[in-house]
A = this chain, B = another copy of it.
Amino acid sequence: MSEHMIIPTIEDMFAAHERIKPHIHNTPVLTSSYFNELTGAELFFKCENFQKAGVFKARGASNAVFSLSDDMLEKGVATHSSGNHALSLSYAAGRRGIPCSVVMPRTAPQAKKDAVKGYGGTIIECEPSTSSREAVFAEVVAESGAEFVHPYNDHRVIAGQGTCSRELIGQVENLDAVIAPIGGGGMVSGTCLTLSNLAPSTKIYAAEPEQADDAMRSLKAGHIIADDAPDTIADGLKVPLKDLTWHFVSNHVTDILTVSEQEIIDAMKLIWKRMKIVMEPSSAVPLASIIKNRNTFAGKRVGVIITGGNVDLDLLPWLKK
């Protein structure tokens, strides 16, 4: 997809932050004495589930949309996405008043499809596999002439996602580590961009479902491993790394931890119950990893990115048979 690789710089992140500030929330950081006791760590939850469009991806999407040149505004933007980038790009396009086409798996949660339409996006459905998504998307771009905004392998998107940990280190001092879920690696890459420059002693961890552990295997192998259509409840984490996110992950991530589906569901329900916040299965993967790897995090000050809150409330995973 990417003919050339533009690696965003810390100046790009600063510029992104200025550009998107009117369109995003500086989201709150919550703490929980219950989870501190459970894990032995001091946890700081950066609540991107309270972000515009319900997800951190509003940052990157807003940066891409608001850095578009005037001659592209009529053609608009297009993307493929497991859902959250789709609605984030629709949100940002709506704020700028330009069209937005999104290719989305037909199996994506209805709540996410409704949200995309609610923001004014146009959905084109594909089969639930990476190969189908990319094929259908190529057609859409060829026909519309729209600007492609990749969900994560895009320097504008990564610079935008990097604003999240810039806020976090302004809200919480002396973090020993930050942990975020990893799918395609957009949030993790933005985190690497910001922290490697502004807080280089803070370690960066990524967390992933065992059933979609391609990023962990990539890091061990030293090159990108991509699976076609992995299956996990954490539906935002099914996509593979790409060259740009691989650049950041391979250079700056200390470790990638994996957890089972049941561990994700248990952590998700426990966060809802104790912290009274609605968040996605993907967002529970970091806490599930901290609970599982107590020795790695106990005694540390750890930033935990709660990436999003767009859940189908009629299909909660602990209620499935």
Say which residue of B28, B273, B279, B314 sits within 8 Å of A319 (CB atoms): B314
Interface residue A277 (Cβ < 8 Å from any Cβ of B): yes
Chain B residue with Cβ nearest A279: B276
Interface residue A278 (Cβ < 8 Å from any Cβ of B): yes
Chain B residue with Cβ nearest A30: B50
Interface residue A309 (Cβ < 8 Å from any Cβ of B): yes
Interface residue A189 (Cβ < 8 Å from any Cβ of B): no
Whether A313 touches B313, Cβ cut-off 8 Å, given contacts A50-B276, A54-B276, A276-B279, is no
Chain B residues whose C-beta falls within 8 Å of the C-beta of A28 in the assembled complex: 28
Chain B residues whose C-beta falls within 8 Å of the C-beta of A30 in the assembled complex: 50
Chain B residues whose C-beta falls within 8 Å of the C-beta of A309 in the assembled complex: 276
Q: Which of A280-319 contact B (CB under 8 A)?
A: 309, 313-314, 316, 318-319
Chain B residues whose C-beta falls within 8 Å of the C-beta of A313 in the assembled complex: 269, 272-273, 316, 318
Shortest beta-carbon distance from A189 to chain B in Å:
25
Shortest beta-carbon distance from A198 to chain B in Å:
26
- A272 contacts B278, CB within 8 Å? yes
A309 to B274: give the CA distance in the assembly, Å.
Answer: 9
Chain B residues whose C-beta falls within 8 Å of the C-beta of A50 in the assembled complex: 30, 275-276
Shortest beta-carbon distance from A312 to chain B in Å:
9
Say which residue of B49, B269, B314 sits within 8 Å of A276 (CB atoms): B49
Q: Which of A127-164 contact B (CB under 8 A)?
A: none
A159 to B111: give the CA distance in the assembly, Å.
Answer: 43
A319 to B318: give the CA distance in the assembly, Å.
Answer: 13
Chain B residues whose C-beta falls within 8 Å of the C-beta of A275 in the assembled complex: 50
Interface-central residue, A28, A269, A309, by most chain B CB under 10 Å: A309
Chain B residues whose C-beta falls within 8 Å of the C-beta of A49 in the assembled complex: 276
A279 to B275: give the CA distance in the assembly, Å.
Answer: 11
Chain B residues whose C-beta falls within 8 Å of the C-beta of A54 in the assembled complex: 276
Chain B residues whose C-beta falls within 8 Å of the C-beta of A278 in the assembled complex: 272-273, 276-278
Chain B residue with Cβ nearest A309: B276
Q: Which of A236-287 contact B (CB under 8 A)?
A: 269, 272-273, 275-279
Chain B residue with Cβ nearest A271: B278
Shortest beta-carbon distance from A46 to chain B in Å:
14
Chain B residue with Cβ nearest A276: B309
Shortest beta-carbon distance from A276 to chain B in Å:
4
Apart from A49-B276, A54-B276, A314-B318, list 8 A-B contacts with CB within 8 A. Answer: A30-B50, A50-B275, A272-B278, A276-B279, A277-B277, A277-B278, A313-B316, A313-B318
By Cβ-Cβ distance, the 9 closest A-B pairs, closest first, are A276-B309, A276-B278, A49-B276, A272-B278, A50-B276, A272-B313, A273-B313, A269-B313, A278-B278
Q: List 14 A-B contacts (CB under 8 A).
A: A28-B28, A49-B276, A50-B276, A272-B278, A272-B313, A273-B313, A276-B277, A276-B278, A277-B277, A277-B278, A278-B278, A313-B316, A313-B318, A316-B316
Which A residues are within 8 Å of any B CB, using their own CB?
28, 30, 49-50, 54, 111, 269, 272-273, 275-279, 309, 313-314, 316, 318-319
